[in-house]
């Protein structure tokens, strides 16, 4: 089937109108569009078209980059994790998401899969400790050497 010489497709919200034919036919149909929409709406017993109200957006400030510690640039994921956890910010237990966000704030980018593997490796090496929290998942802190 051939496409008409003049074709118009308009989508507004979840409603879509598609018109095709000669240019004059399409333009005359556009003039009658409101009555056509009224007929279709009443045929399907749909309530009158009301645009959904958009609630006023209250600005939620994203975690500021200033909240994260500044660490030296490194190409090693493990070094970045240890550097973060040895800061005052790292004194409190941190999740993998928090560690990743802090690394990204320092322009150090590693996939989550790489970071999770490095965290497991650092735990096995004894450089960091982890435990599972029921709400947050695994939490990580630097492993302080025991003083005897």
- For 65-142, CATH gives 1.10.10.10
Return the top range by mean pLDDT from 10-14, 56-60, 127-131. 127-131
Taking only the tens place, the pLDDT of each residue in 19-43 is: 788 878 877 877 887 777 777 677 6
Taking only the tens place, the pLDDT of each residue in 70-79 is: 999 999 999 9
- Residues contacting 15, CB < 8 A, separation 6+: 49
pLDDT at 60 over 90: no
Could you tell me the CA-to-CA distances from 142 to 11, 27, 68, 113 in Å, in that order? 55, 71, 16, 20
Residue 7 bridge partners (DSSP): 20
The domain ranges of the chain are 6-43, 65-142
Could you tell me the CA-to-CA distances from 14 to 41, 50, 52, 94, 109 in Å, in that order? 14, 11, 11, 42, 38
């Amino acid at each position: 089937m051939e496409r008409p010489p003049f074709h118009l497709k308009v989508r507004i919200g979840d409603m879509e109108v598609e018109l095709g034919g000669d240019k004059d036919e399409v333009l005359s149909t556009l003039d009658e569009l409101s009555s056509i929409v009224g007929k279709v709406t009443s045929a399907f017993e749909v309530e009158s078209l009301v645009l959904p109200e958009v609630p006023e957006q209250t600005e939620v400030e994203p975690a500021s980059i200033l909240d994260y510690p500044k660490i030296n640039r490194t190409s090693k994921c493990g070094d970045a994790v240890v550097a973060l956890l040895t800061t005052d910010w790292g004194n409190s237990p941190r999740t993998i998401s928090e560690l990743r966000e802090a690394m990204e704030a320092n322009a150090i980018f590693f996939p989550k899969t790489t970071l999770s593997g490095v965290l497991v490796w650092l735990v096995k090496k004894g450089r960091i400790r982890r435990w599972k929290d029921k709400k947050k998942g695994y939490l990580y802190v630097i492993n302080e050497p025991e003083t005897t």
